[in-house]
Amino acid sequence: MKFEDLETLWIAQQPPAPASVEAIDLERGLARELGRRSRMFGYSYFFLALGLAVIPLLAIINFNYARPDNVILFVLNALLSVTVSMIVLVGTIRRHRRHRALARAKADSLAAFLAASVENLEAEIQDFRVSRWGMMICMGISLLAIYVNQPITKFGWQPFAFRAAMVLGAMLLLVSVVARHCQKNLKPELLRRKTLLEQLS
């Protein structure tokens, strides 16, 4: 056997050259980001389903256990809670469909991985923006529920103010955590990847 034949056989038996470290790291990072956002959708579905099941049940139990002073406000609060939950559920389903389409898309180059990562980060930031507004709406509905169940004209300001302060504090804490996460983690990483994508294009 000639030396050239041995060399050809040796080259044929060698494993293919590994992909660049940067491309592999970016692929793994994108997989983690997509998985993290998928888990967030799972949590959203769980809490929305729980709310849609529990809110009407609690409304019926509360109405039969202690008839509210203002029936119209009581019914309005229950209907508003269910309506907002349904709107959020529809919006979540639409965003989840776009997320699944992005997760199924094939990326065969470093630029394609960067583009998919940028799109996913932008969608995640938009999710957090929507969630902040959702939390503010939930705070308003919660304050209305407190007023309906503990009317100021009957119980005074102290019970209402105490419960309202607890709700306000919890919501502000959640909003601040979401805002900090976006400012400290997501937005700088999005800017970095956009810069890399522009350099490759």
**3 against 145, higher pLDDT:** 145
Three-state secondary structure along the chain?
CCHHHHHHHHHHHCCCCCCCHHHHHHHHHHHHHHHHHHHHHHHHHHHHHHHHHHHHHHHHHHHHHCCCCCHHHHHHHHHHHHHHHHHHHHHHHHHHHHHHHHHHCCCCCHHHHHHHHHHHHHHHHHHHHHHHHHHHHHHHHHHHHHHHHCCHHHHCHHHHHHHHHHHHHHHHHHHHHHHHHHHHHHHHHHHHHHHHHHHHC
Q: For residue range 10-51, list pLDDT tens digits in order.
A: 444 444 444 455 556 667 777 788 888 888 899 889 988 988
Q: For residue range 153-200, list pLDDT tens digits in order.
A: 777 888 888 888 888 888 888 888 888 888 888 888 888 888 887 877
pTM of the model: 0.73
How do the domains of the chain map onto residue ranges? 21-200
Q: For residue range 64-112, list pLDDT tens digits in order.
A: 887 777 888 888 888 998 999 899 999 999 999 988 888 887 766 677 7
